[in-house]
Amino acid sequence: MPNFKCKMTKFRSIFWHRRDLRIEDNIGLFEASKNSKTLIGVYILDPNLLNLNKTTSEAKNWFLGKSLLELQRNWEKRGSRLLILNGDPIKLIPKLAHLIKAECIYWNKNIEPYEINRDKKITDELTEEKKKVYTFLDHLIVNPNDIKTNSDEPYKVYGAFYRKWVDIINKTNLSNDNLIQIDSTPAKIFDLREKEISSIKNSDLNYCIIRKSKVVYDLISSNRFNNSNLCPCKPGESDSIKQLNLFIHSGTINSYNQARDIPSLESTSTLSAALSLGTLSCRSVWNGAQLSKTIAIDEYQLNSIDTWIKELAWREFYQNALLNFPELEQGPYRKKWLNFPWENRTDWFKAWENGITGIPIIDASMRQLKDSGWMHNRCRMIVASFLVKDLLIDWRWGERFFMKSLVDGDLASNNGGWQWSASSGMDPKPLRIFNPFRQASKFDEKGNYIRKWVPELSHISTPDLLSGEINSLERKGYPKPIINHKIQTSIFKELYSRIN
């Protein structure tokens, strides 16, 4: 925990936004504003996190750019400003602190290995310069240090993790009243003097006034998600709050239990990007769920709300997993998977990426991802199983493609989801093979989802659409299945038995 020597006297401080693109209920920002005489915000466009081939996607860049615009306005409304710098934070944060003579630097911690290493270097440098660094845990409801087994080990199984997680929250009695509202202290955010702003502009810090910033503009202006309704995740703090309120007050949360698995329905919160980039706090979603419980009218609704809370716990489970086992980023948790003889056919991978495998539910899902930047959870599981267990392609190829495509691409959740689907992760059940036709029949009974995303099949009868047995005359350019599910999965099982 931070040492609050700064508390008594008010200092000149910087608050560094990272995955917390909001003003409200932001623990680090709240502490910074409480303890500072002068406070400005900074966001750094870190090239390591903006690599379109690896760490981000067009959709995520759009979400980020739009959210930064709103954050900038929110800082200005409160009498200060958000500087947007472009470059390596290891160089830029110490330089900025030096230039404006900031004594204290605040930020909320992240759990990804790259960020942990980067932040350590920055902390060391700032400390050497006699600056104070204060860091906080903001993006998880439960502190990972508190969530250990009786033998003080990290949890490796979700079920046990979940029980402990809920138990801790119930004991700490998190409620609406405990939400930290930065709004209640706007007078404590002060701007820099004009002279200081000019000295930043005249330095080599790549200072951008956001509305004129080329880099931020590039994220948004040429982006096909801009001014469109393509993506169901809505960027910015105010729209994220609206989205949460809608999910709760429209009653969608009350029927989550069954409806969440039907990809043709708008039955999930679509808050994943907001939670990943922090336009919404994890505490507000927890509190939202608690509020829903007070207005639920029966057991079914209460169960639905609990099921949604369990999804929030999956997010925290994977964040804890990556924090405790950073090697997950590189490969399988179960090391025997390193020896799996992948076939890695690039033509099959291309067909999968482009939604032209000839298997309707797979193609519908991949086209939803391509067109909207988001994919329904049920479909993520189906296409991941298909890539690994039918196409015999290394799950890390799929993981990378998801990061390059998803608006909510998040190392911990994405890696967790892929390792779960590949059976290479912590989950004790080792082998999950999804039959895409059975999945389609169960979760897209009427073929509505397939017809929406693969419109060239809209004339096909529902049974043929679900079974994938489409007459060649009716295909009209839609490809034949690239593989036979039965044959491929038996090959998979045989290869799998060799690594056991």
Ligand X SMILES: Cc1cc2nc3c(=O)[nH]c(=O)nc-3n(C[C@H](O)[C@H](O)[C@H](O)COP(=O)(O)OP(=O)(O)OC[C@H]3O[C@@H](n4cnc5c(N)ncnc54)[C@H](O)[C@@H]3O)c2cc1C
Binding site for ligand X (CB under 6 A): 260, 268-272, 275-276, 311-312, 314-315, 318, 377, 380-381, 384, 402, 406, 408-410, 413-414, 416-418, 421
The partner residues of 263 in beta bridges, in order of sequence, read: none
Phi, psi of 133 (to 5 degrees): -115, 130
Q: Kindly state the smallest distance separating residue 125's Cβ from ligand X, in Å.
A: 31
β-pairing verdict for 82-86 and 104-108: unpaired
Both tokens assigned to 372: 């909207």
Residue 95 contacts residue 7 (beta carbons within 8 Å): no
Which lies closer to ligand X via its Cβ, residue 80 or residue 405? Answer: 405
Which lies closer to ligand X via its Cβ, residue 314 or residue 443? Answer: 314
Q: Kindly state the smallest distance separating residue 284's Cβ from ligand X, in Å.
A: 12
Which lies closer to ligand X via its Cβ, residue 118 or residue 260? Answer: 260
* Beta strand residue intervals within 81-190, DSSP E: 82-86, 104-108, 132-136
**Helices marked H in 325-435 — which ranges?**
346-354, 360-372, 377-385, 395-405, 411-422
Q: Kindly state the smallest distance separating residue 203's Cβ from ligand X, in Å.
A: 36
Which lies closer to ligand X via its Cβ, residue 11 or residue 158? Answer: 158
Phi, psi of 361 (to 5 degrees): -70, -35
Which lies closer to ligand X via its Cβ, residue 30 or residue 63? Answer: 63
Residue 357: which of 224, 470, 230, 493 has the closest Cα?
470
Coil, helix or strand at residue 226: coil
Q: Kindly state the smallest distance separating residue 27's Cβ from ligand X, in Å.
A: 19
Residue 419 contacts residue 395 (beta carbons within 8 Å): yes
Give every CB contact of residue 112 below 8 A, 6+ residues apart in sequence: 322, 329, 411, 412
Q: Could you count the other beta carbons within 10 Å of the beta carbon of residue 457?
A: 20
Residue nearest to ligand X (CB): 417
Q: Kindly state the smallest distance separating residue 265's Cβ from ligand X, in Å.
A: 11
Which lies closer to ligand X via its Cβ, residue 192 or residue 312? Answer: 312
Residue 62: which of 409, 297, 454 has the closest Cα?
409
At 383, which amino acid appears?
V
**How many angstroms separate the CA atoms of 119 and 13, rounded?**
17
Which lies closer to ligand X via its Cβ, residue 75 or residue 317? Answer: 317
How far is it between the farthest Cα atoms of the chain? 79
The tokens 């994405």 sit on which residue?
414
Using left for φ > 0, alpha for ψ between -120 and 50, and beta otherwise, residue 25 falls in: left
**Helices marked H in 189-281 — which ranges?**
194-201, 214-220, 237-249, 256-259, 272-277
Which lies closer to ligand X via its Cβ, residue 200 or residue 309? Answer: 309
Distance, C-alpha 158 to centroid of its chain: 19
Q: Kindly state the smallest distance separating residue 413's Cβ from ligand X, in Å.
A: 4
Which lies closer to ligand X via its Cβ, residue 89 or residue 278? Answer: 278
Q: Kindly state the smallest distance separating residue 426's Cβ from ligand X, in Å.
A: 13
Q: Kindly state the smallest distance separating residue 239's Cβ from ligand X, in Å.
A: 14
Distance, C-alpha 296 to centroid of its chain: 28
Q: Kindly state the smallest distance separating residue 466's Cβ from ligand X, in Å.
A: 21
Residue 235 contacts residue 223 (beta carbons within 8 Å): no
Which lies closer to ligand X via its Cβ, residue 260 or residue 451? Answer: 260
Both tokens assigned to 451: 């017809």
Q: Kindly state the smallest distance separating residue 490's Cβ from ligand X, in Å.
A: 23
DSSP code for 180: -
Q: Kindly state the smallest distance separating residue 478's Cβ from ligand X, in Å.
A: 25
**How many angstroms separate the CA atoms of 195 and 199, rounded?**
6
Which lies closer to ligand X via its Cβ, residue 123 or residue 307? Answer: 307
Which lies closer to ligand X via its Cβ, residue 140 or residue 271? Answer: 271
The tokens 């079914």 sit on which residue?
300
Distance, C-alpha 138 to centroid of its chain: 15
